[in-house]
Structure 1
Amino acid sequence: MRRWFWIAALLVFAMVAFKPVLFRAVEALLVIEDVAAGPGASRLKAWRAAPGREEISYRVPGKTNTADVYRPGGGEHARATVIVVPGIVRLGKDDPRIVAFAETMARSRFLVFVPDLQSLRELSIRSEDVDELSALTWHIASKETAGAEKSVGIVAFSYAAGPAILAAMNPQTRRLVRFVYAIGTYYDIISLGTYLTTGYFREGPDRRWQRRTPSSYATWVFVHSSAAWLKDPTDRRILKAMSEAKLADPDADVRGMAAQLGPEGQAVHRLLVNRDPEKTPLLVSELPASVLAEFHRLDLRSRNMADLKATLILIHGQDDTLIPYSESVRLAATADADRTHLFVIRSLAHVELGSSGVLDLWMLSRACYLLLRERDAMPPPVANRA
């Protein structure tokens, strides 16, 4: 009898001691299901009330910007604060996929901020995005968490993950960022340009080349961004027109427009039509100075990753055709090993979940568990404190 008493006592102790861990693991699975469901039905939606949504304004250098704020519904308090940064999409923060994801985060008891970054709506990334995300981080920390350290998390998608990581490294705000959860990020602008123009990529300078057909959308978004950085207004207009035509119809013939390009535009076009990965560094070096300067400001490879004090959780689809998974692999290899977690997922098509096998579901649940663990370690928003 005594033996069974001690066994029962140990079981009760285990249930009490590990209850937070078990609950968080179950919650992670519910979050994954809800993300995969998008706006559709899920167990998380049945369990927790629909979030509220409102718009706020915050100051950035030289202007005022806006962001949508999602709050947990049903009278629940937020456990932590997170910024969700959309990828390069026309609808920006209003894209239905971003809205659904932000609602999932709010149902997961995050206070969610989704900034309206105009560059992303214009299918471009700019170094100014780093300043805007840093300003929003500072706004949240001062208004919502009373400036507490490690009080803000960032979830960022695709090309926007680069500026998000750079914002987390900003000397003025890096003490405020608890984690960065980057889905399908880039690392090295030159290796990214190599892939988008030639289809070749590799996991490191000494690794073998691999090849796949890059997404036409990603290639022409890269051109669209590069065009915005040119000083020559004519070349800027022509390259944007070429990219808009290709984004609307991948089979569009833009050779006539390419023939009208001046020296700046021709330098970008030479990189675009190159198919030899070994020639890419030279072609990049011949780009206009204004383009190279923006490349440098957005590049992660040239940064000291020791400046990133936040936990870094990297998720990347193995078959991603917009940004190869090797970018996240290389980033993980240079970041602090004790604070970096990398998950390469077969069923992830860039930023959208497909049908997950057991291994993928296990890795996704681990990644989501880490996100929720960071949430539970963060200070809650001021309004929730007793």
Structure 2
Amino acid sequence: MSRIKNMPFSPRFVGLLLMLGLLSGCGALNRGYEALLVLEDLSAGSEESWLEQRTSEPSREKVNYAVKGRDYVADIYHPEIPRRGAMVLVHGFTEEGRRDPRLVEFAMTLSRVGFTLVVPELEGLKDFSISTREAQAIADAVRYTTNEIEATESETALAAISFAVGPALIAAMQEDTAGRVSFVVAVGGYYDLTDMLRYVTTGEDRGGAALELPPPESRARWAMLLSQLHWLEDEEDQALLENIARRKLEDRSAAVEAEVRRLGPQGRPLYNLVTNEDPDNVNALLAKLPSRLRQEFKALDLSRRDLDELQAQLILIHGPNDRVIPISHSRRLEDALPEGQAHLYEAAGLEHVDVSPGLLDGWELWRATVHVLKLGEQ
């Protein structure tokens, strides 16, 4: 989840946005002003924001629900006046799940401007084991929301961050959900998993022609390792690789040679893949992974899917200097859809999902927020 707190909005930035809003029509003025309040609220930290002064605090309700025999738990955030539709908000990798304080703050902000938020608990994202199971769980959250939450008019929006973008889009393209999702907000998402893995491990992005990229975040390879361990059948290899990954996440110089020497025929290919630094070796190393893991990897790869099945509008927000998933992925997602269906906002202050914008960077985030608010009214 994004650490969006302590965002520096200068008086010049605030004044510029208000001036531009005054030059717009009445509807655009209100929407632009609300977008400004949203961003200021997210940056307020422990201090009271303008939005908090002007709105009542939404209520939060815990619900248990089942879809086709599958049981789930979620939080529903009810605004005082539900003047926008429902939104399923997918949390990212966090052991605190739907109760991650940053996610709670984000959900409260969106609910203050009229969205009814449904935030499901996704066990895979809590233990870093992302898979197509998460796509199914997100699709079930869409089914529940459109069937049970009053005032959604059988449609809901969907928002996801980083690695959760793939499962969210897959969920939005299923036969009985495609017509239920009005729009998707995707922050720092991926398109081609092989290219993403190549960048994370070697620094090369073959989908980003002519892009000058910063070096990848050193911790990303170990997060990727954690996300795939659950597909290994060898429990000893699972435990060894989890220990390696967690130690490296805490200290990238940690010595793990003893654990590496004990890896068996399942764990060794996965370790070799995430520690590889030769871009030309990636495909060959992928081919050596256990078959179950390869199948899941392919199933989550958006570049292998027919995106024509997506009916929803897609709002893409991505930072040009993202060191986990390069911006080329969002650009390719936009290009893969019919003209006008996807809209990319390149926010230079967005480093993967951490935000610290200046004046011009805040402008792009403001434009994206205005777009989300507008779509929520339809």
Could you tell me the TM-score, scaled by structure 2's length?
A: 0.89
Q: Give CA deviations for 1:244-265 in whole Å, capped at 9, x if unaligned.
A: 2222332221121111111121
Matched, 1:84 2:85: no
Q: Give CA deviations for 1:319-355 in whole Å, capped at 9, x if unaligned.
A: 2222222221121111222110001111112223203
Task: Measure the CA separation in 2 of the matches of 1:300 and 1:61.
Answer: 26
Task: Measure the CA separation in 2 of the matches of 1:299 and 1:49.
Answer: 42
SS at match of 1:250: coil
Return the offset for 1:20. Answer: 1.3
Distance change in 2, residues 1:227/1:140 (3 Å): same
- State which of 24, 31, 34 in structure 1 corresponds to 2:31: 24
Could you tell me the TM-score, scaled by structure 1's length?
A: 0.87
The residue that corresponds to 1:138 in the other structure is 143
SS at match of 1:346: coil
Q: 1:14-53 maps to which residues of 2 (within 5 A)?
A: 18-53=25-60
The residue that corresponds to 1:366 in the other structure is 367
SS at match of 2:138: helix
Q: 1:159-170 maps to which residues of 2 (within 5 A)?
A: 159-170=163-174
Q: Which amino acid aligns with 1:221?
A: A
8 Å CA contact retained: 1:196, 1:218: yes
Worse-superposed segment, 77-86 or 183-192: 77-86
Q: Which structure has the larger Rg over C-alpha atoms?
A: 1
SS at match of 2:255: coil
8 Å CA contact retained: 1:55, 1:66: yes
The residue that corresponds to 1:267 in the other structure is 269
SS at match of 2:184: strand
Matched, 1:344 2:351: no
Q: Give CA deviations for 1:16-63 in whole Å, capped at 9, x if unaligned.
A: x93112111111111122223355432111111111111011214553
The residue that corresponds to 1:128 in the other structure is 133
Task: Measure the CA separation in 2 of the matches of 1:217 and 1:89.
Answer: 15
- State which of 102, 106, 128 in structure 2 corresponds to 1:101: 106
The residue that corresponds to 1:11 in the other structure is none
Q: Which amino acid aligns with 1:189?
A: L
- State which of 70, 75, 97 in structure 1 corresponds to 2:77: 70
Matched, 1:153 2:157: yes
Quote the sequence identity (%). Answer: 35
8 Å CA contact retained: 2:83, 2:377: no
8 Å CA contact retained: 1:320, 1:350: yes
Distance change in 2, residues 1:87/1:254 (3 Å): same
SS at match of 2:311: coil
SS at match of 2:63: strand
SS at match of 2:72: strand
The residue that corresponds to 2:231 in the other structure is 229
Q: Which amino acid aligns with 1:188?
A: D
Distance change in 2, residues 1:334/1:38 (3 Å): farther
SS at match of 2:237: helix
Return the offset for 1:240. Answer: 1.4
Task: Measure the CA separation in 1 of the matches of 2:64 and 2:45.
Answer: 27
Task: Measure the CA separation in 2 of the matches of 1:277 and 1:69.
Answer: 44
Return the offset for 1:72. Answer: 1.2
Count of residue pairs the alignment pairs up: 357
SS at match of 2:228: helix
The residue that corresponds to 2:245 in the other structure is 243
Distance change in 2, residues 1:276/1:244 (3 Å): same
Matched, 1:220 2:222: yes
Distance change in 2, residues 1:355/1:146 (3 Å): closer
Task: Measure the CA separation in 2 of the matches of 1:238 and 1:287.
Answer: 17
Distance change in 2, residues 1:38/1:59 (3 Å): farther
What are the ranges of 5 or more consecutive residues in structure 1 without an aligned counterpart?
1-14, 378-386
Task: Measure the CA separation in 1 of the matches of 2:178 and 2:238.
Answer: 35
What are the ranges of 5 or more consecutive residues in structure 2 without an aligned counterpart?
1-21
8 Å CA contact retained: 2:240, 2:263: yes
Task: Measure the CA separation in 2 of the matches of 1:110 and 1:260.
Answer: 51
The residue that corresponds to 2:15 in the other structure is none
8 Å CA contact retained: 2:85, 2:151: no
Task: Measure the CA separation in 2 of the matches of 1:28 and 1:47.
Answer: 14
Distance change in 2, residues 1:64/1:142 (3 Å): same
Q: Give CA deviations for 1:176-224 in whole Å, capped at 9, x if unaligned.
A: 00000011111111011111211222434xx257553322332211101
